[in-house]
Structure 1
Amino acid sequence: MRSLALPGIRNLVAIGAHPDDIEIAVGGTLLTLAKTNPGVRVTYALATGSPDRVAEAHSAARAFLPGAELTFVQHELPDSRLPAHWNAVKEFLGEVVSVAGEPDLVLCPARHDAHQDHRLLAELVPTSFRDALALHYEIPKWDGDLGRPHLYVALDNEVARHKVALLHEHFPSQKARDWWDDEVFLGLARLRGMECRSRYAEAFWTTKARLSF
């Protein structure tokens, strides 16, 4: 499998429907990015979340992106009801665009995600960020919606395990969930790593990209 190194990413947008979406899906990618791109500018955007859950997410963002220039965009839209608030979601993404400017990369949910909140964001992000590379991430869940990814970010052992440790540390409200454990997080990362000849990996989809020489 050939590897393609992206140029230095200086402006990143990470979008989640709910607190912990971003870290579960791309925590390893964020840790790697922060290490390889010191001082990266990150717009961290959440569409829903109670004050306590948002505080967890903000704490996690700082831990997963040490040294980054972080800007938070937070709306308190109804959890699991985003499709019924289409206009508000579009306005939320418009605010993210105005704050982020011209990002090099946008991380957001996948179009085939079984959760309705995730799907709506996935559908609207490319219409809001027309000139940025959008990579759509996956989140393991009860619905069983995993697919065949287009792109992988390889993670070494240290990064993968550090990701899981930070998830436990910064999202204590989720520890009672029966799926919240090391085996789920590392199991998916190991599977994706096997698919791209790495120990661990995070996987993505993209609907449109431009290759420059």
Structure 2
Amino acid sequence: MRRVLAVGAHPDDIELGCGATLLAHSAAGDAVTMLVMTGGENGPGDDATITGRRLEQEQAARTLGARLLWGGQVDCTVTPDAATVAVVERAIEETDADIVYVHAPDDSHQDHRAVAAATLSAARRLSRVMHYQSPSTLTFSPTTFVDVTAYLSGKLAALGAHASQVEMSAMVEPDAVVASARHWGAQARIGYAEAFAPTRLVIDLMPTPRRAAEEVPETLRLTLSASLAANTR
């Protein structure tokens, strides 16, 4: 079982970037957590709209089968300082995450850049750090693709929970989301895909450490043990 942490600057960022992939993780039995750093406080609308965005995010997380954490930052003021790094570090520690998804670093939105930088620092000891694309991403050259053909409708449902944003932005319109997934699917030679640019991506060829140990021939195991013992003298 994977322990997945997806980090986003604002409500709906994660769903746009990797919502279908999170659904695939949930379907596989992985533990999925979303860390949303701000509540979109400085976006369009009044106080009721801001409160509504939090409720929308909670509904979207339920749709994805994910636990939701809030970062307590303020929209449009996020900086990649020690305090922001500490927020992500606490989430990594609390969830014991072994894979992290976050914004691509080259982005025209300052919050996205800051969250990406802070997460890279916080996840410096992890072996799987994946960057997703946002509508405001400037350069993005993905090399890793997830087949989300079976999960695209679920992603659309999660984005549909963000009703206030659907009304204001073409970025979350179903046609645009489907077109993006089809584009990346064509790149990956599959139906529909979400795309990622990994900072690090370790691929497990053995399912578990126990099975890996069991499949090592006895003669090789003895040789390895002798070699390790010799190297510690």
- TM-score (normalizing by structure 1): 0.82
Query: Given the alignment, which residue of 111, 114, 126 partners 1:120?
Result: 114
> SS at 1:207's partner residue?
strand
- Letter of the 2:122 partner, please give it: S
2:95 aligned residue: 100
Q: Any idea what the Cα deviations from partners look like across 1:105-145, whole Å, max 9, x if unmatched? A: 1111111122111111212212212124111111124xx62
Q: Is contact 1:48-1:75 (8 Å) kept?
A: yes
What is the CA–CA distance in structure 2 between the aligned matches of 1:209 and 1:32, rounded to whole Å? 18
**Alpha-carbon distance, 1:195 to partner:** 0.2
Higher alpha-carbon Rg? 2
Q: Does 1:46 align with 2:41?
A: no
Runs of 4+ in 1 over 6 A off after TM superposition: none
Q: How many angstroms apart in 2 are the aligned matches of 1:97 and 1:125? A: 10
Give the Cα–Cα distance (whole angstroms) in 2 for the partners of residues 47 and 123 of structure 1.
13
Identity %: 29
**Cα shift readout 1:137-175 (whole Å, capped 9, x = no counterpart):** 11124xx6252211110121x42133213311x111112
Report the AA paired with residue 194 of structure 1.
Answer: A
Distance 1:186 1:146 in 2: 21
**C-alpha distance in 2 between matches for 1:199 and 1:146:** 24
Query: 1:201 and 1:211 mapped to 2: Cα distance?
Result: 19
TM-score scaled by length of structure 2:
0.75
Q: For the Cα contact (< 8 Å) 1:15–1:46, is it kept in 2?
A: yes
> How many residues are aligned here?
193
CA RMSD across the alignment: 2.0
Q: Which residue of 2 aligns with 1:151?
A: 144
Structure 2 unmatched runs, 5+: 40-49, 206-233
* 2:193 match: secondary structure: strand
Partners of 2:63 and 2:36 lie apart in 1 by: 17
Deviation for aligned residue 1:25:
0.9
Matched, 1:175 2:166: yes
Give 1:54 shift: 2.0
Q: Give 1:212 deviation, angstroms.
A: 5.2
User: Relative to 1, partners in 2 of residues 1:57 and 1:87: Cα closer, same or farther, differing over 3 Å?
Assistant: same
For 1:166 and 1:209, locate their aligned partners in 2 and report how far apart those are by CA, in whole Å. Answer: 27
Q: For 1:9-57, what per-residue CA distance to the aligned partner results, in whole angstroms no more than 9, with x for missing partners? A: 2x111111101111111111111111122xx322321110044322211
Question: 2:6 maps to which residue?
Answer: 14
Task: Please state how far the C-alpha of 1:91 moved relative to its aligned partner.
Answer: 2.6
CA distance in 2 between counterparts of 1:56 and 1:146 reads 29
Q: Is the 8 A contact 2:140 2:197 kept in 1?
A: no
3-state SS in 1 of match to 2:155: helix
